Amino acid sequence: SQQGEEDPQALSIQEGENATMNCSYKTSINNLQWYRQNSGRGLVHLILIRSNEREKHSGRLRVTLDTSKKSSSLLITASRAADTASYFCATDETGGFKTIFGAGTRLFVKA
């Protein structure tokens, strides 16, 4: 079963707008990661946030984590057409070894 579930499933915005994607999960985690996948390519690691962190930034990316609500959000500011991709959250369960991926959010940024 999937640990992380992204919301929305698909998102279409104009270039320059901000894009927000959410991820919910079910069990206690060690960390949560966000990945990007361009069409026909492998996944690329974007950012990792640990369970004791609440917010993390990397360039135009901002990730928040609320362990009490078992949820995370990924914000992409000032989006560009090149940000068009699928975005996946992935969680490492506490005491587990495997990383579990959600089904992803498909982001389309219109130029």
Binding site for other proteins (CB under 8 A): 2, 4, 31, 33, 35, 40-45, 48, 88, 90, 92, 97-104
- Cβ-based nearer residue to other proteins, 95 or 97: 97
Q: Least separation, in Å, of the C-beta of 13 and other proteins? A: 21
Residue 46 or 76: which CB sits closer to other proteins?
A: 46
Per DSSP, the three-state class of 107 is: strand
What is the distance between the alpha carbons of residues 36 and 30, in angstroms, rounded to a whole number?
20
| Residue labelled with tokens 């990924």 | 74
Nearest distance, CB of residue 46 and other proteins, angstroms? 9
Nearest distance, CB of residue 47 and other proteins, angstroms:
8
User: In the chain, what is the straight-line distance between the N-terminal and C-terminal CA atoms, in Å?
Assistant: 36
Nearer Cβ to other proteins (15/24): 24
- Shortest distance (Å) from residue 57 CB to other proteins: 16
Q: How far does CA 68 lie from the centroid of its chain?
A: 18
CB closer to other proteins, 5 vs 15 = 5
Closest CA to 81 of 13, 11, 12, 15: 15
Instruction: Dig out the tokens for 100 from the structure.
Output: 């579990």
